[in-house]
């Protein structure tokens, strides 16, 4: 079933909270950030102030020069935090699949909710209405089949907007937009794309992948996917993925290292694919072993650089395994591998060397094949021993005990 995702962002958030509390400020150019003689910058500008060219990040002195009649407010964070909490509580009333992104912004997975509200559009209308009634704030909402399109839609619809991009229309919707509208395209990327003659998302989407990869490494692939309206990141409630792990108990206790490694590799690939699916990288890898006498140990290793490749998980897992088995304990009953300390991918443009890029591309390619043809459609040499032992389904091997996850 096609997904339905909403991106909700409050309009001129800090300013609007002030205006909701103080009617005198309504309909006027208002700036939150501080008095104009201060060295700070504009945190939020009302839409009336934006008509004078004011925007977030602008020095207050410049803002004053452009619009001396604006009302400049210091602002107080506790008010905004309270409003944010009430905002998120309202969203959670509409769908439990809520992923807050910042104080005034969240994704909501509303797939299937049309049966309750008549349509997703009507659901969004009801949501905006409640935010207006209870908080006195305006929300802009984008609705689409994936996060990136929903986010762009909500921004385009501002202020007080509601924009739905019908499934199938994603690329047509994105095509005419300037590339700067694409999340992840900062000034630097925009400049490089500009030098290649790419100024719209449409042009970006028809640029050969190889060209983008040669300039941006793996980020080039993400740019390309986003530009085509392809984004399979899920809406992830906070805390849902503090860690990801897979473990299994053997049919018979074992000391066989190649067998242990094959299982570790397989479980690591399961963890890796979920990690990439969630769009995260891990800083910590943990090996779990249970011995024949049920003693259970975990050993963790913190990576110097967060990663989400199967290779890193396996290399780190086997390093921990080798160290542990060197102690010559009993046969192993259970093996597991997990990742924690999950982070958003870093600024990859700066950091990636070519071998890391190749690995990452390989992982993406494997993920694509597996999404299409099933998990065991493609296998690494390491996991081959499992092939003769376990039956496989589209979802992977049926291990002796299910590979538990959290």
How many residues contact Mg ion, by CB under 5 A? 4
Q: Looking up tokens 């995702």, which residue turns up?
A: 5
Binding mask 82-121 for ligand TTP (x = CB under 6 A): ----------------------xx----------------
Q: How far apart are CA 170 and CA 121, in angstroms?
A: 17
Q: Is 44 a residue that touches ligand TTP (CB under 6 A)?
A: yes
Helix (H) or strand (E) holding 128: helix 120-135
**Binding of ligand TTP by 14 (CB under 6 A):** yes
Rounded to 5°, the CA angle 128-130-131 comes to 65
Dihedral of CA atoms 43, 47, 52, 53 in degrees, nearest 10, equals 50
Residue 367 interaction partner, one of ligand TTP, Mg ion, none, beta carbon < 5-8 Å per kind: none
Residues in 123-162 at the binding interface with ligand TTP, rule: CB under 6 A: 158-159
Q: Which of 48, 105, 164, 170 is an active site residue?
A: 105
- Binding-site member from 25, 43, 49, 275 for ligand TTP (CB under 6 A): 43
Regarding 12 and contact with ligand TTP (CB under 6 A), the answer is: yes
CB 250 within 8 A of CB 205: no
Q: Does 80 bind Mg ion (CB under 5 A)?
A: no
Please identify which residue in 9, 48, 99, 164 interacts with ligand TTP, judged by CB under 6 A: 9
Decide if residue 18 touches Mg ion (CB under 5 A).
Answer: no
Binding flags for ligand TTP, 156-195, as an x/- string (CB under 6 A): --xx------------------------------------
Q: How far apart are CA 271 and CA 238, in angstroms?
A: 19
| H-state helical runs in 298-344 | 310-325
Nearest to 348, CA basis, from 359, 340, 357, 339? 357
What is the distance between the alpha carbons of residues 310 and 363, in angstroms, rounded to a whole number? 7
Please identify which residue in 57, 176, 197, 208 interacts with ligand TTP, judged by CB under 6 A: 57
Residues 217-246, one symbol each (x = binds ligand TTP by CB under 6 A, - = not), give ------------------------------
105 catalytic, yes or no? yes
- The answer, yes or no, to whether the previous bond of 19 is cis (omega within 30 of 0) is no
Nearer to Mg ion, 102 or 122 (CB): 102
**Binding-site member from 18, 48, 99, 104 for Mg ion (CB under 5 A):** 104
Choose between 9 and 247: whose C-beta lies nearer to Mg ion. 9
Taking the least distance from each CB to Mg ion, the nearer of 104 and 367 is 104
Query: Which residue number, 3 or 158, has a Cβ lying nearer to ligand TTP?
Result: 158
User: Rounded to an integer, what distance in angstroms lies between the CA atom of residue 337 and that of residue 269?
Assistant: 10
With CB under 5 to 8 Å by kind, the binding choice for 173 among Mg ion, ligand TTP, none is none
Q: At what angle do helices 120-135 and 77-94 cross, to 10 degrees?
A: 150
CA distance 313 to 338: 9
Give 404's strand partners. 247
Q: Name which of 139 and 234 has its Cβ closer to ligand TTP.
A: 139
**CB nearer to ligand TTP: pick between 136 and 167:** 136
CA distance 267 to 264: 5
3-state helix, strand, coil in the chain (%, to 5): 45, 20, 35
| Contact assessment for residue 391 and residue 399, using Cβ atoms and an 8 Å cutoff | no
**Which residues are the active-site residues?**
105
Residues that bind ligand TTP (CB under 6 A): 9-14, 43-44, 56-57, 104-105, 158-159
Residues that bind Mg ion (CB under 5 A): 9-10, 13, 104
């Amino acid at each position: 079933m096609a997904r339905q995702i909403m991106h909700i962002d409050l309009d001129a958030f800090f300013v609007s909270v002030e205006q909701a509390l103080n009617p005198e400020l309504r309909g006027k150019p208002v700036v939150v950030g501080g008095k104009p003689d201060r060295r700070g910058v504009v945190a939020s500008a009302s839409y009336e102030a934006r008509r004078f060219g004011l925007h977030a990040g602008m020095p207050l002195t410049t803002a004053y020069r452009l619009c001396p009649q604006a009302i400049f407010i210091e602002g107080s964070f506790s008010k905004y935090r309270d409003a944010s909490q009430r905002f998120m509580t309202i969203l959670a009333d509409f769908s439990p699949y809520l992923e807050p992104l910042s104080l005034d912004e969240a994704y909501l997975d509303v797939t299937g909710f049309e049966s309750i509200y008549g349509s997703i559009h009507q659901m969004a209308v009801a949501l905006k209405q409640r935010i207006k009634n209870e908080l006195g704030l305006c929300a802009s909402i984008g609705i689409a089949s994936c996060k990136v399109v929903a986010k762009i839609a909500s921004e385009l619809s501002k202020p007080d907007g509601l924009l739905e991009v019908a499934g199938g229309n994603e690329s047509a919707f994105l095509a005419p937009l300037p590339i700067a509208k694409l999340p992840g395209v900062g000034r630097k990327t925009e400049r490089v794309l500009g030098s290649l003659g790419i100024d719209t998302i449409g042009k970006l989407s028809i640029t050969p992948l190889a060209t983008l990869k040669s300039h941006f490494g793996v980020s080039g692939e993400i740019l390309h996917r986003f530009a085509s309206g392809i984004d399979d990141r899920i809406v992830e409630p906070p805390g849902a993925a503090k860690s990801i792990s897979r473990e299994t108990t053997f049919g018979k206790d074992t000391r066989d290292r190649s067998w242990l490694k094959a299982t570790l590799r397989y479980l690591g690939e399961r963890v890796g694919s979920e990690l990439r699916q969630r769009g995260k990288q891990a800083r910590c890898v943990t090996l779990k072993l249970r011995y024949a006498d049920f003693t259970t140990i975990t050993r963790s290793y913190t990576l110097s650089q967060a990663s989400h490749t199967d290779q890193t998980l396996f290399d780190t897992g086997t390093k921990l395994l080798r160290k542990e088995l060197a102690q010559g304990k009993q046969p192993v009953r259970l093996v597991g591998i997990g990742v924690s300390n999950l982070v958003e991918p870093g600024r990859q443009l700066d950091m990636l060397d070519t071998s890391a890029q190749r690995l990452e591309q390989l992982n993406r390619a494997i993920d694509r094949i597996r999404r299409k043809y099933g998990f065991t459609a493609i296998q690494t040499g390491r996991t081959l021993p499992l092939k003769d032992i376990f039956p496989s389904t589209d979802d992977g091997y049926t291990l002796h005990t299910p590979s538990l996850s959290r």
